[in-house]
Each structure stands twice: as C-alpha cells, then as structure tokens.
Structure 1
C-alpha cells in the first residue's frame, strides 16, 4: 500500500512543468516550515508533541507508533517533511493574499486532507489545507473560505474540522460505492451536510460506481458546486488537488482525462477575485498525475482551456448522487430551492429525499454482478491519449527604458511621438 505514495510523485510533476516550459512562467515561492502555532490551528498539542518525537524513535518504536494511526508510514524524516508541506501551503496563501501572485499551486507531500485533530490518517500527517483555511481567516481577516476537494478519497479530516463552521464551505466528491470504499464512513454520504450553524456548508458527492468520466465531473460542478459557491461568495478558494480522480489511477479507477482539470480550475478561477491556491493531495499514476498537474498550472497561468471532447452526459449513478445532494441541500441554499422536482423525458419525477442513504440502493445488483464475474476494466489497463496541446496567447509588454539603455533583442523601439498614449500610461 505504501509503495504508491512515493517521492517520484513530486519529481515527475516538477520535471513535467520544466519540460513544458510552464515552470519558467511561474514565480517560485520560498518554502518555510510550519510553526507550532500554525499546526495548532487545527491539531491538538498532544498529537503535535507525539509527532515531534518520531525523528528520535528506533525502527521498532516507529513501527509501533505507525500502528496507532490509519494507513500512515512514519519515517524519521516525516515530521520535517510534514512541516514543510504545511509551511509551503501557508507561503502560497501569503503570496496570494498579499497580491504577490494571482494564484498558485503547492506541490507538496505528505498530503493532508485525511489528517484529523489528533490522528494521522491515509498518508496524511498535518492537514495542510485545513491549516491554511484557519491561517487565512486569522491573519487576513477573511470571512468565507471555499475548500474544493476533487481527490478521489473523502477528506474526512477537513470535514470534521469545519462541519460546524459556516465560514468554511467544504465540497468533496469521492469514490464511495455505498460505503464500501475507504475510508468507509457513513459521514461521507450525501446527507452529511454539516452540524449546528455549519449545516449546509458540508457538501459530499458520493461516487457509487467507478469509471466516472468528464461529463460526470462537469455535471456535478455545474449543477451542485458552482451555484452554491457563487451564493456563498468566498474570499479565498483552496483546492485539495488530488489527481487520483484521473484516468489510470490504481486508487480511483475513474476515467476522467487529465484535461478535465483545466476546466475545473478555470471554473473556480472566477470566484474570490481569482484568489485560488491548489495544494497537491493524492495521485498515484505517475503519467496521469504529471499531465493533470500541467493542465492545472497552465490554466492558473491564464491560458485558454482546451475544447472539451467526448461529453456524452452524466451516467445514471452520477445523476442519482447529484439529485440526492441537491435535495439534501435545497433547504440551505436559495439556488437549490426548486431542486425537489425535475423534468425528465417529459415526466415530472420526485427526487429522493435526504433521509434515504444511497448506500442501500442497488446493492443486490452489485452483489449479483460480482457473483457472475462481471467486473470493470482494471484502471491499470487504461490507455489514453496525450492531453491536447495548448498554445499560450501572445503577451506584449511595454516599458520606458532609462537613458542610454539599448533596446533588447527581439523588442521594437518606438518614440513618444509614435504612440503618446501608451508612453504616457507607462510614465
């Protein structure tokens, strides 16, 4: 299990950004370690102190410590790496909030969205995005943060952190399969909408089948997330950018092509005045991972998204989840107040209400399918074409050169008499 969360996840992503020329177009943000105060915004002091001891443990002690937490391998260097992952995320938030950069992506590991207040979980030690949300609210006084988790696993650590907090809207789609897929939580279903004042501010979209495609992802964005996000009107958008939801991933077994992340990113960039911070979470097929990272970064740089192709509409299972989510949240959001009835094939059909759990639907069919040996094509066998080439629009820059400075090669010199309007703007 631990062989999939490997250092190569970062190296292949960075190498792809360099090879495609995208890295040269980005501003590199210096990295720092998260401080104790940063980490304590989300985690308990007891947990932090326990993790601090791991660099000094023997191998036997590390193995024993690892067994106390779910699906996390503790290494003597993991505390240092986890502090850097959280700190890099906070550096990106600082750069975006102060206007030094318009938006950005933090390539970090270990990931964070499964980590809870007092426990590591699912490869995650510190909850990078949850810490960033609390940090941004505290340091910059922002009122509303949107967290979009497009990783294929449910980020229960983020949900539990903010489930009673109406200032943070958390959206997650995740492989669920009627509670059969990890982390196998009842709290991951569509009717977990938040608690107390936070009711309506936790949106779970369960994928109850594998093989979801671009149409399924875009449908949920357009009919669930975006209407609510615009009504919420965030001051900052944080993305738990896990690419195990892309085609070929052994964990997700989904079929969305890497260029779908260009469209998802583009749709989110219209919120919060463009203040968007994407933070790497999962992604375990090294090919679709680096392709998806490049698609995301190129869109953040402002390049037009590629033309969508092969959109054949959402599948029945995705529609079922979509309608259940809208029904569960219609009492909380004006944009969904007419979500109880839909017109399908010229018939008015009542949608399921939120007291019916999708995990009880069609289980008999799935069990029969397993008995007959009918199985989905393995994600490891998937092949897909390279994402379409995206051309960056030409950029023109004008400046006034000091006296005696020669015009650089490739630039055109013009005098104030040729275009006085431009020259006056530059002065």
Structure 2
C-alpha cells in the first residue's frame, strides 16, 4: 500500500493515513528515511505523539535534580554540565537503532541536558533591580531565535539523524564556559563565599570603567552560622506566605506550559507546511518576549499577567466559533493567542524567580516548573481531542488560562523590590509586612547587588 503523508518539524516524520477497512502486508512510505518509516510507526500515532510527552516527562524529573544542584553547587557548574550533557545525549539519539532506545535517550537528555533553569537564575541574579526583568526577558528571546533557526536548518537538512547532530553538537562548546562565564555573586554571597563574590564584582566594575568602594569586603554581611540547604527548604514550606506562592506558581506553570505548548503543537495542523508553521510560531514567541520586556517595565508584573491570561482565554474560547470561511481570521486569532501565551510564559518565568529567596530560588523555581510540565506532557495529546470536536483543544486552553489568571490575585507584586535572599525577606514582600509572621526577629540580609 502506498502512503501519502505530511511531516513534523522535529523528527521529519511521515504520518500515514490508516483505514481500518483496508488490510496490507507491508507499508510503503513516501519518505523511507523518515523517523516514522525507519521505526515502522505506521498507524501508531500514539508512539509519535509520545515522543513529545516523554521529553516533557524527562524535563520535569530533571528539574527536581538540576534545581537543587544549582542551589547547592552554583549556577555556573550546572550550566556547563547540562549543556555538555545535552549535546552528548542529543548526538547519541541520532544513532538510535530502535524506537524505544530513542525514547530512552530522549528521556535522559531532557532530564539532565537542558540548561534553561540554571542559566536563567544566573541572568536574573547578575543585574540590578530596575534592569532585572528587562534583561532576563530580553535574554530569553534566544529561544524564539533558536526556533526560527531550527525551522530554517530543518528545511536544508531534512534527514532527521543529520538534523539532530547539527543542532546538538554545538552544546559541547559549553566547556569553554569554564573560562568565559562567572558565577552569580548573589549565590556566592548567600552561600558564604564572600571573597569570590567581591572579586567578580570588582572585575565587572573594572570592565565597565566604574569605581567602587575600597572596603567592599566589609559591606556585605556574612552570616555567623551557615544555614543548611535542608533548613532553608523546610523554612520555605513551613512559611504560610511562601507555601501559598508555591501553589499559585505551580498553577501558573501548568497553565502556561499546557496552553503555550498546546498552541504550538496544534499550529502544525492549521494547514500548509509544518516547517513554516513552526517558524511562524517561533516568530510569535520572539514578538511575545519583546512585548513582555516593555510591558512589565511600564506596568509591573501582576496586572499584565492577569490581563494576558484572561485575554488569551477569551481568544482561545472564541476560536472554535469563528466562521470557517474566514481562514485569515482564524489564523490571526490563533497567532495572537500564541503571542499572549508566550507573554504569559515569560512573565511567569520572571515572576516565579522573584517570589522566593536566593537560598532556595532555583529549587523552588525548578519545582514549580517541574510540576508545570504536567501541562506540557498533556499538550502533545490535545490534537487527539479533535476526533470529538475540532474546537475542543482551544476551548480547553481557554478554560485553563482563565483559571490561571484568577489565582494571580493571591500573590504580591514584586516590581521594584530587591530579590529576597532569605526566607524572612521573602515573607516581608507579602503586603510589605514589617515583622516575621512566625514571631521571630527579622534576620540580617545579604546586601543586594
């Protein structure tokens, strides 16, 4: 039986049309060297969609490992480790001889090969309060640019094994970060490594031709008693304020990953070539990042996040009821929804990092993000809902987005507030309270950078 099919941007797959009333002895593929053809996935749609879910599962589990390790051993160490691991395992995937071996490597690579979490913490902690959000979100535009380059490279490198080698091999260059990248001074200070932090700050000042005080060593407060990582995590979860933020942030992440990934996955079903649709989705993500940097600079964090969650919910809910004859209207509505979801994702990323103390920031950020990947795991399966009604996926995105917008009312705005270094400082952000809600005296803080 001859099969006509389409292809997916990531694996360049040929997806055959299956008819239960037909029988055949052998499948013949239009693209015999595609991922689906090489692993004989004809009429096994669940295997193809499961690759994305397995990747998200690996990333979810990996965040529970990388986040705490980043808080314990430093941001720089984990950035280098994850980049090199990702590059190595990604190249190994290109030599997979079976579907299940590929899936296993996909799971491991997603778990220990994604540097986003530690490198984001490093970026957030290296800049001043007023520039923090703009710098962090502008830096994250690399994800949108990377998506555009992926679509472009995939057009010229169609064979999936070669494509994997091309996009993963550069990760091995991260070894040079040992000499090119500095550790976060804030992390060093929070972990009692004052001398190293002062050295980095002095070098940065010299590079920027700035003068700083000679007695910099005495400016930063050094704790008399070292606080264990276990104690910090325990204090974080026993604080009623931080526990509430944890649940809210987890809800944000579930909604953000589910809606954003779901819209991107479903964008390949809008018609046309998957490469082009995926590239357009990346452009939307890039536009979303640029607009976010301006919006949160002018209008803070909390208000815009509520507005964009609700606006995305309205557009997604209305998508199924747009006239089918107005294809341009459907595309426009869909892409605007995608921009809004990307904006939500960017604000959630920065907002979460600002609600928890330095001593447990990466751990809590990673934990919330890990829980949020539940939404990312479900998102690749949403196209299957179209079997019941074509508008069911976007209607679901709308309901989830609206819920996330409403729970945002429960947390304080962090605009123009210094990053908290301790649990006590993080608690004081709640309505700007002046004392520790548990009755203890406020603890001294590490000076903000």
Please give the range of the TM-score, normalised by the shorter of the 2 chains.
Answer: under 0.3
- The structure where helix makes up a greater share of residues is 2
| More strand, by proportion | 1
Q: Which structure has more RCO (C-alpha within 8 Å, separation ≥ 6)? A: 2
TM-score (norm 2): 0.25
TM-score, normalised by the number of residues in structure 1: 0.26
